[in-house]
Structure 1
Amino acid sequence: MTSSPARRRHLPNSPFAAPVEQVVEVFEVDDRVTHDAYGLGRIVNVEASAVTVDFAGRRVRITSPYPKLTGL
């Protein structure tokens, strides 16, 4: 059985920047969104780790953590 390595805690006096916690946005059906490559769209399906977005007739499935997708 393999497990992920333990997370090291960040010491306040460390010269290195603390790791940034990535915030995963939560979307619902009919939410308006914008994507860096596809433009404006509307959420048509929500799954556990992906959403399907309708960009003017073109449906695209985008997986979490949705790096280029922003809610409006």
Structure 2
Amino acid sequence: MKKPSEFRRHLPTSPFKARTEAPLKRFAVGDRVTHDSYGLGRVIGVEGDADIAVLVDFGSRQERITQPYTAMFKL
């Protein structure tokens, strides 16, 4: 059975429209990234086919960062 919110249609400008999930971030070896806590870095490893975690070299240290990558952005 569908939820009541699935039956409702909202105007595109409505503040009550259904929220959509943001697309998953994907990183590849060699990508330049920035992290809110660690600064600028380069991806040196990717774990799993679904990007479970990435290993990033930030110069002074290497960090393993797991999904969701809310604080990390590709440059």
TM-score higher than 0.5: yes
Please give the TM-score of this superposition, normalised by the length of structure 2: 0.73
Please give the TM-score of this superposition, normalised by the length of structure 1: 0.75
The gaps in structure 2 that reach 5 residues or longer are none
Q: Deviations over 1:21-66 (max 9, x none)?
A: 1211111101100001110000011012110111113111111120
The 5 A counterparts of 1:8-47 are: 9=6, 11-13=8-10, 16-47=16-47
Instruction: Give the AA of the match of 1:12.
Output: R
Aligned to 1:70: 73
- Alignment of 1:52 with 2:55, yes or no, is yes
- % of aligned pairs identical? 48
Answer with 1 or 2: which has the greater Rg: 2
Please give the secondary structure, in 1, of the residue aligned with 2:43.
strand
Instruction: Give the AA of the match of 1:11.
Output: R
RMSD: 2.4
Structure 1 residue 16: deviation in Å? 3.4
Which has more helix, going by share of residues?
2
Paired positions, count: 67
- Larger mean CA deviation between 56-65 and 6-15 belongs to 6-15
